[in-house]
Amino acid sequence: MVGQQVSRLRRVALTGALTPVLILGAAGFGALPGGILPTDATAQSVIDGSACTAFGAPQAAPAKEMSVADVAEKASPTVVTVLNLQPLSQADLGGFSGIEGIPGMPQIPGSGQLPQGPNPGDNGSGTSGDSTNSDSLVPIGSGSGFIVDKDGHVITNAHVVAGAEKLSVTLLDGTEVPATLIGSDDLIDVAILKLDLPAGQSVPGVATFGDSSQLRPGDQIVAIGTALGEFPNTVSEGTVNATDRSFPSEGGLTDWIQHDAEIWHGNSGGPLLNLRGEVVGVNTAGIGSSMMGSDTGAADMSFAVEGNTVCQAAADLLANGKIDWPYLGIQGEATSDGQSVVEVVQDGPSAKAGIEPGDVITGLDGQDITRQKSLIDLLFEHKPGDTVSITAERDGTPQTFQVTLGDRPETAD
């Protein structure tokens, strides 16, 4: 199949001897020069982080843990392949590496870019009946997703569906059905779709969310997704390496699950499951230790957005089509003491409160910023319109600022 770019690629500069490659993509969390993270853009106060019951409550009495094979058998009917279709005239035939916007980053050979030579859509002979039509829709990427209710709603990553003119979803038995995008949020890389099922056709299965806050390092987990965009319902197993990880670097979101279940391009948007067959995360990113991790592009270290956050975010998108984020109007860089203010948006909430570049924010509403509790995490507890007390140091002198949080502009990075 043409252009089965499994997900967006991001090369990130992390500390250490390796130059890792983020092989699954994490829209909205790309590396910025100097390690600056868009703290105003990623705060998600509407997500309360508790067990989500929007798509069905976790079992009151947890079922007995199952074997990996039984988990796969239970969950596989709910897992789908999501195909992103865009006009040929808009497709990047020169190679879609997903590292656009990061100065100095080269194209990555073998990254799943649209093939050169024969036109996209050819039949193997180098010819195609519609490949010369610049308005023809071609599959520029594919990822995974999972069905969350009997109405046919599917959760996936936002980067899997970004820019799509049409969406097609392939079910476990190979049936292809069109889908409609209901809502998408790049900041936590979550999207929700609606399957356009023929009258009388029911979904093959419905996934159940578990309580991801109960995960512990060492717990066994299972990942299912469309490996390399070609092999649907590929199953891998592993353990939770850590929870509440900040990713891609210190100072960012701390609701990532780090695990070692093998994942590949194409697993983006697929479920991470506990041994009760419940969704506890959505696989979104993987880091390889070489340009592609291995010859097959598998990740050496994998990351999933924790399930409680995804569940609530998808419910908000289903209800409103968007998520309203609080806005500080700054960019900050994590330090050992807190969050150093690098930029302040003119006429933004922080600027109006008197915060200046060079200030080091150390707390919010009496809570200290730590490696376990970032400034972004503290913002999660608020919503636009709330007034918060920001503590900061300016030239070594403690300062307090009253900031009324704004609504994040749609144009904010």
List residues with catalytic annotation: 159, 189, 268
Which residues are registered as beta bridge partners of 272?
223, 281
Distance CA 270, CA 281 (A): 9
Asked if 6 and 264 count as a contact pair (C-beta separation under 8 A), the reply is: yes
Distance CA 181, CA 155 (A): 10
Distance CA 332, CA 56 (A): 38
Asked if 190 and 162 count as a contact pair (C-beta separation under 8 A), the reply is: no
Helical ranges in 208-298 per DSSP H:
none
Helical ranges in 237-367 per DSSP H:
307-320, 349-353
Tokens matching residue 357: 């570049």
Asked if 104 and 85 count as a contact pair (C-beta separation under 8 A), the reply is: no
Tokens matching residue 16: 């250490």
If one counts every other C-beta atom within 10 angstroms of the C-beta of residue 378, the result is 23
How do the residues of the chain divide into helix, strand and coil, expressed in percent and rounded to 5? 10, 35, 55
Residue linked to tokens 């302040």? 344
Which of 209, 206, 204, 207 minimizes the C-alpha distance to 62?
A: 209
If one counts every other C-beta atom within 10 angstroms of the C-beta of residue 396, the result is 6
Distance CA 216, CA 379 (A): 25
